[in-house]
Amino acid sequence: ASFCISGGLVSWFARRNSNGGAEAGAGDNIHPSESKRFKKVAWRCIPLLIMGFIRLLTTKGLEYQEHVSEYGVHWNFFFTLTIVGLTSTFIRAVLRIKNPIWWIGLLCCYQFMLTRGGLQEYIEDAPRHCGDKHEGKGNNLFLFLFGLGPVCHLFAANREGLLGSIGYLIFHLASEDIAHYCLWSCSSKGKDQDQNQNQGSRLVIVTVVSWTVHLISVSVLGIQASRRSTNMSFVAW
């Protein structure tokens, strides 16, 4: 999670109207040329993808001990970083979505599917092969979508990594907006003393909101933090 968060804190989108990020576009707008960033990021993600396959081949070839409940049978965090990098750049540069309401809504929908749609149970208890006996709602959903073909088997074997990428994507998008609000937008305004005061007050606001959301989700809604599913409580924490 720290890689997704730190990447979001210093991303081009977070720095888009600061003095140090003037190349990202004037003011709070996204320059039309930013759509070309997706191609650049895609090329930069190729090494991550290669490292992911190298890790997969070496761990399987050497029979290195690993816990499949972490990311799945074949998945690893290099693949997650690739998905997060490509998807976040597509959202910000190609679709030009900069309103934080979008990722907040995505988080709420994802948590609803985890709680009410049976995805949490599916991630924790479902077998690694489609068609094995499991009556959970999440398993039935993916059987309906993919049938009993190889796609369904591959998804079931790597469900933690694939579904968890949604939470890590939200981590990254949230970090970009928090960094823009608390750090980079303040760096282009006023004197150093005023800048530090603005940054401090905004960081306090974000911290209070985050802990409030975490306490409500855990204590009121009963959503225990889960790294396997990267649910709402985990993201807020």
Cα dihedral 56, 59, 63, 68 sign: negative
Buried residues in 127-136 as b, exposed as e (16+ CB within 10 A) = eeebeeebeb
pLDDT on residue 86: 92
Q: Is the pLDDT of residue 29 over 60?
A: no
Identify the band that residue 145 occupies on the pLDDT scale cut at 50, 70 and 90: low
Higher-confidence residue of 27 and 10: namely 10
156, 142 Cβ separation under 8 angstroms: yes
Q: What are phi and psi of 88, to 5 degrees?
A: -65, -40
How confident is the model over 106-132, as a mean pLDDT? 84
Widest distance between CA atoms in the chain: 65
Rounded distance between C-alpha atoms, residue 156 and residue 131, angstroms: 10
Instruction: Assign 3-class secondary structure to 183-195.
Output: HHCCCCCCCHHHH
Of 43-57, 72-86, 114-128, 168-182, the poorest mean pLDDT is in 114-128
Rounded distance between C-alpha atoms, residue 25 and residue 12, angstroms: 10
Quote the pTM value.
Answer: 0.82
Residues contacting 27, CB < 8 A, separation 6+: 17
pLDDT on residue 39: 83
Identify the band that residue 106 occupies on the pLDDT scale cut at 50, 70 and 90: very high
What percent of the chain shows pLDDT beyond 70?
A: 78
Q: Is the pLDDT of residue 180 over 70?
A: yes
Q: What is the mean pLDDT of the chain?
A: 80
Rounded distance between C-alpha atoms, residue 231 and residue 164, angstroms: 8
Rounded distance between C-alpha atoms, residue 118 and residue 163, angstroms: 13
Residues contacting 140, CB < 8 A, separation 6+: 118
Identify the band that residue 111 occupies on the pLDDT scale cut at 50, 70 and 90: very high
Identify the band that residue 189 occupies on the pLDDT scale cut at 50, 70 and 90: low
Of 98-102, 144-148, 231-235, the poorest mean pLDDT is in 144-148
Of 16-20, 33-37, 168-172, the poorest mean pLDDT is in 16-20
Identify the band that residue 96 occupies on the pLDDT scale cut at 50, 70 and 90: confident
Between the CA of residue 188 and those of 60, 101, 165, what are the distances in Å?
50, 24, 33
Count of C-beta atoms within a 10 Å radius of residue 65: 6
* DSSP code for 24: G
35, 95 Cβ separation under 8 angstroms: no
Count of C-beta atoms within a 10 Å radius of residue 22: 12
Q: Is the pLDDT of residue 31 over 60?
A: no
Q: Is the pLDDT of residue 208 over 70?
A: yes
Identify the band that residue 67 occupies on the pLDDT scale cut at 50, 70 and 90: confident
225, 218 Cβ separation under 8 angstroms: yes
